[in-house]
Structure 1
Amino acid sequence: MEEALLHGTPLVNAKGETIDGGDVGQTGLLALYFAANWCPDCRAFQPTLNAFYEQANVSTQQLDVVFVSSDMDEEAQLAHFTNKHGAWWMIPRAAEIRNELRRKYGIRNGKDDVEVGVTHRNSGIPALVIVRRNGEVLDFQGVQQVERDGVQALATWQAQAKDQ
């Protein structure tokens, strides 16, 4: 069995509970949500993602979301996460994997890209990158899919996960 992308990474929810990142994505899908509260587009997309998450997981957990913050400090990250996000997980600001994921997936925020070492661009923020548990990308255009297709996007990603 392939190792989970976030194995060994402590994740926290808005209640302060922690789990190992290897425990998320048990359904085979994981959504990495790259965003920041200072970003107007992120603030505009947030309610849509919250509604999508609730609909997608109404009867059983079908999709885990992990917040990868581009907020400028821990206080801003925690305020953003606890006040505006759904019932999902967050990578703590101090965890280096936060920047590793931005580099791996080419997510730029226009603020600290050089310091973080993001050298290529697949997306700016907000970005919702849909991956398998091992980190293999299924869809870089998660934001657009959710905005266009709503909860039907989940069925598309589930089919992609089975086909590949």
Structure 2
Amino acid sequence: MDCLTGQQLLKKDGTVVSADSALADKKIIGFYFSAHWCPPCRLFTPALAEFYTDLVSNGEPFEIIFISSDNSPEELMTYMKESHGDWLAVQHGTVLSQDLKKKFQVSGIPTLIILNRDNDLITKTGRSEVTEKGPLVFQKWLAASK
């Protein structure tokens, strides 16, 4: 994941981890752009958390990186603790979060971008794919990553 090489990511419990080690064995990475104040986000996030938990508990090589549009670091942490799966987050208000929004041309939230380990885009429509197909879509993403 070139865009995350050398970066630090935030866990739900507030600890910071190296992106390099956290993503070392992951084949599919989802970048989730969302915010606590956004009603469509608050509807989709619990579904994404269930999707994530189902896959990870079955040993799938998947990780989600949350990029917040919340108004403060405190709102980001509240949202993660209330609604999110045990995925990682880019720290609030960083240059990295702005760079990722630009890189993926995110114009609205919630948005779920799916990439493979080599940084190749699999889909920009992860939100609708998760909603429509559930965990079965993961196998499609894996196949597209080869």
Alignment identity in percent? 27
Q: Contact 1:4–1:133 at 8 Å: present in 2 too?
A: no
> Is it true that 1:144 corresponds to 2:128 in the alignment?
yes
In the alignment, which residue of structure 2 is the partner of 1:56? 55
The code of the aligned residue for 1:96 comes to: V
In the TM superposition, what whole-angstrom CA distance separates every residue of 1:25-69 from its partner, at most 9, and x where no partner exists? 623210000000111110010111011011111221421001000
- Report the CA distance shift for 1:148/1:54 in structure 2 as closer, same or farther (over 3 A): same
Q: Contact 1:29–1:63 at 8 Å: present in 2 too?
A: yes
In the alignment, which residue of structure 2 is the partner of 1:129? 113
The code of the aligned residue for 1:146 comes to: V
More helix by share: 2
* TM-score for both structures, normalised by structure 1: 0.83
- Report the CA distance shift for 1:75/1:16 in structure 2 as closer, same or farther (over 3 A): closer
In the alignment, which residue of structure 2 is the partner of 1:154? 138
- Post-superposition offset of 1:136: 2.2
| C-alpha RMSD of the superposition | 1.4
Write out aligned runs for 1:7-156 (5 A).
Answer: 7-23=5-21, 24=23, 26-108=25-107, 124-156=108-140
CA distance in 2, matches of 1:44, 1:141: 16
CA distance in 2, matches of 1:70, 1:82: 16
- The aligned length equals 145
Segments of structure 1 that go 5 or more residues without pairing to the other structure are: 109-123
* TM-score for both structures, normalised by structure 2: 0.92
CA distance in 2, matches of 1:84, 1:92: 17
CA distance in 1, matches of 2:82, 2:46: 12
